[in-house]
Each structure stands twice: as C-alpha cells, then as structure tokens.
Amino acid sequence: MAFPQPRPQAPQIPQHLLRTIDCQQGAVRAVRFNIDGNYLLSCGSDKSLKLWSTSRGTLLKTYSGHGYEVLDADGSYDNSQICSCSSDKTVILWDVATGQVTRKLRGHAGKVNCVQFNEEATVILSGSIDGTVRCWDTRSRRYEPIQVLDEARDGISSLKVAQHELLTGSVDGRVRRYDLRMGQLHVDFISSPITCVCFSQDGQCTLSSSLDSTLRLLDKSTGEMLGEYTGHKMKGYKLDCCLSSKDTHVLSCSEDGHVYCWDLVEGSLSLKLPVGKAVVQSLSFHPTETRLLTAMEGRVQVWGADEKGSA
C-alpha cells in the first residue's frame, strides 16, 4: 500500500428526496429493500405486493394472492424468491420471475406481523399477533412449521435474522434472542411493547423501539444499554426503526410525520426529516449506500445523501 487510505468521509445522511413513488395499492404497510438495494418491495393494504426498481421507480411486478392487507415482505439472498405475510394469517412464498405463489403457509392463529428469510432462504420465519414465531421450511414440502417458538406472552411485532440468531420483539415488552448455535434464549426486558427490533450491521448490538417513544441500543451479549434515543413519537402504531448501512446513525419512524435520525454514538438528533403530515409507517435503509425508503400513506419516497442520488 503505497498510498495512504483516503480520509474517511463524514457520515452522510439521506436528506434529499430523490423520488416519490405512488404505489397505487392503498396504504403502504411496509417498504423493504431487496438484498442488494436495487429493488424495493412495497406491501399494500389492497392485498397486493409490488416490486419496483429503486433507480427508475418503475413497477416491475405485482404479486397478488393474499387475502388481506400485506404487512411485511422479504426477498431472498438470490432474488429468486419473496416471502410476504398478511393479515389473512398466511405467509406466502413467491416466485419472483413468474409472480406465482410457490407456497402458501397457514398455521398462524392471527395476523402475521413480520416475516424474514434466513440467510440461505431455507427457512422462513414469521411472527404473528398470536405470540408465536413459526419456522417454515422452504426446502421440503411440509406444510407444518419446523418449530414454533411460543415463548412470547403477547404478539410478535418484529423479528430479524442474522446468521444463526433470531431476534424477536414482542408486545409483552421483551426482546428475545434465540441463539441457535449456543442453544440459548436471551430475554431482555424492556417493559414497554416493542414495535421493532434490529441487529446492527456488525452484529454486536440490537436496536429496539418501543411504544414509550424510545429506541434503545443494547449490547447483544450482555444486554446492557449502550444508547437511548428519544424525541420522536411512537405511542400507538407499529412503526419501524433501523440503523444506517454503516452503523453511524439510528433512524426511526415517527407518528408526527418525520423520520428521526440520531447519531449512534452521541445519541444526539442529527436530522429530523420531514416526510409528510401523516404517520411514517415504515422505512428501510439501503444495505450499502446512503439511501432511505420511507412509506407514508400510499407513497414510497426514496431519499439520498445529495440531490443526484449518486452517493
């Protein structure tokens, strides 16, 4: 290495509106990037799931087959499959190219709040209002889940998978982390109903937002609190939160129509992004770039670090 590394840039925040997509599918319940951030999925309340190109904002495919509004979706690592969950208590595995239902998984007793593939898309994990997380096998043709995790005493509001770990947030105010490798279940008591949980990109921390309008960054291994982020409003709705792609910032939806963005280390509010008047329902951060998706009412907005969206 003859040349020194260029000085690290100051962390950028997505603050410029690049594009607004009118999804035409009722209220957008959730918006998600795919694995590489080139596409986005929007879950509509008109029972449809739509796939868009992030860069052009064009509709690529509509997936219809749910019986009620779609609440969450996730794309597989190879972009060949999509899983989505809905208020109709089902989880559907879609074939991306054909738009056909590959599998329809029934078993939850209530509406399914969140769904996630594991890393190799061999298992779909879905968390429901019935308080269970079900692990569905995508490889075999079994229609029963591999395992049902019914430790939560109330509905599961959010769940994330990272490698061999499963993080769930429940309305009973607990964040549970199932470690498959160690065979352990770690329960962190937060007291207020959890709306969203995230792993940090480095996998060392967990972020959880709860209905007491607080985000908490906990150390994954010990459960100690590393940071607390307040200022936004999250009192009744199940809103998303996330970390930026480089773990520099913590972002959260708010009921006052803004997206709040805190510095992760300092805990200071670095940006209050005005999205609109209504509640910001969902957001998703680009896996590598400084790009943010927000969903409000029927629109999805793409935000970037500068006007051109080059960053």
Partner 1 sequence: MASDSDSDEDFVTYGTPLEPLEEDEPLKKPVPLHDQTVKDEKGRYKRFHGAFTGGFSAGYFNTVGSKEGWAPSAFVSSRQQKAEKHHARPEDFMDEEDFSEHGIAPREITTSQEFSSSRRDEAGEKARAISAQAALIPGDTLLEELIAPARSSIGVELLMKMGWKEGQGVGPRVKRKARRQQMDGGGKVYGCTLPPAGSEESEDDDEEFAPENVTFAPKDVTPVDFNPRLGVQGLGYRGLDPSLALLGHGTAEHIDLFKPQSETRNRLFGDTKSSSRRGGVVGQAFGVGALEDDDEDVYHRDSMSRYDTILGEEEPGDSLYGWTAPQQYTKKKVRSKDASYLGKILEGFTLAQKPLEEKTIFPPPCLPRDYRPVHHFRPSVDVSHLSGVSPALAEALRVSKGHMVKEEPQQAGRHQLDSGQRRALLGEDTLQGPSSVMELLRPEDRQRLLSFRNSSNPPSAKTSTPVSGHASQTSGKSAQVLPASSGLQQEALAAWRGIQTSSQTFKPFEKNPSKQARYELYLSRLKQGDNDALEQSLDPGMTEWERSREREEFVRASILYRPTSSSLSSRFTRAKDQEDDDSVEVSQDQEGDLDDKQSAVKMKMFGKLTRETFEWYPDKLLCKRFNVPDPYPGSGIVGLPKVKRDKFSVFNFLTVTESREAAAPPKPPESGKKSRWDVSEQKVEKKKEDPLGELLSAARNQTETKVEHTPTPALPALPASISSSDQAPGSKPEIKSSEQQSSEQKKEGDEEEEEEEEESRPPMDLFKAIFASSSDEKSSSSSEGESSDEEEEKVTKEDEGKVDSEPLNLFSIPSSSSATTTSSSATTTSSSATASSSATASSSATASSSATTSSSATASSSATASSSHQAAVSTQASEQEEEEFGPKLPPPSAALIRGGAASMCPPIKEVKTGKKSKEKKHKKKKHYKHKKEKKKKKHKKHKHKEAAEEEQGGGAGEQEGEDGQVSTDELLKRSEVTCQSIER
First-to-last alpha carbon distance for the chain, in angstroms, is 26
Per-residue tokens: 276: 């609109």
Q: Does 47 bind partner 1 (CB under 8 A)?
A: no
Check binding of 67 to partner 1 (CB under 8 A).
no
- By CB under 8 A, the count of residues binding partner 1 is 80
Reference 165, options 181, 149, 154; nearest CA is 181
- According to CB under 8 A, which one of 69, 72, 74, 289 is a site residue for partner 1? 69
> In this structure, what are the phi and psi dihedrals at residue 77, rounded to the nearest 5 degrees?
-65, -30
Residue 125's closest CA among 95, 154, 146?
Answer: 146
Fill in the amino acid letter for 203.
G
**Interacting positions 227-256 with partner 1 (CB under 8 A):** 228, 230, 233, 235-238, 255-256
Nearer to partner 1, 101 or 237 (CB): 237
User: Considering only residues 4, 6, 8, 183, which one is a binding residue for partner 1 as defined by CB under 8 A?
Assistant: 183
Q: Considering only residues 147, 201, 246, 287, which one is a binding residue for partner 1 as defined by CB under 8 A?
A: 147
Residue from 12, 45, 79, 201 in contact with partner 1 (CB under 8 A):
45
Q: Considering beta carbons, is residue 185 or 311 the nearer one to partner 1?
A: 185
111 interacts with partner 1 by CB under 8 A: yes
Euclidean distance between CA atoms 86 and 133, whole angstroms: 14
Q: Which is nearer to partner 1, 87 or 244 (CB)?
A: 87
Q: How far is CA 294 from the centre of its chain?
A: 11
Query: Which of 98, 176, 84, 96 is CA-nearest to residue 131?
Result: 176
Does residue number 225 form part of the binding site for partner 1 (CB under 8 A)?
yes
Q: How far is CA 205 from the centre of its chain?
A: 16
Should residue 95 be labelled a site residue for partner 1 when binding is judged by CB under 8 A? no
Exactly one of 10, 184, 307, 308 binds partner 1 (CB under 8 A); which one? Answer: 184
Residue 224 within binding range of partner 1, rule CB under 8 A: yes
Write out the binding residues for partner 1, residues 153-172 only, by CB under 8 A. 153-155, 163-164, 171-172
Residues 295 and 285: beta-carbon distance below 8 Å = no
Cα 95 to the center of its chain, rounded Å: 21
For residue 272, state whether it binds partner 1 (rule: CB under 8 A): no
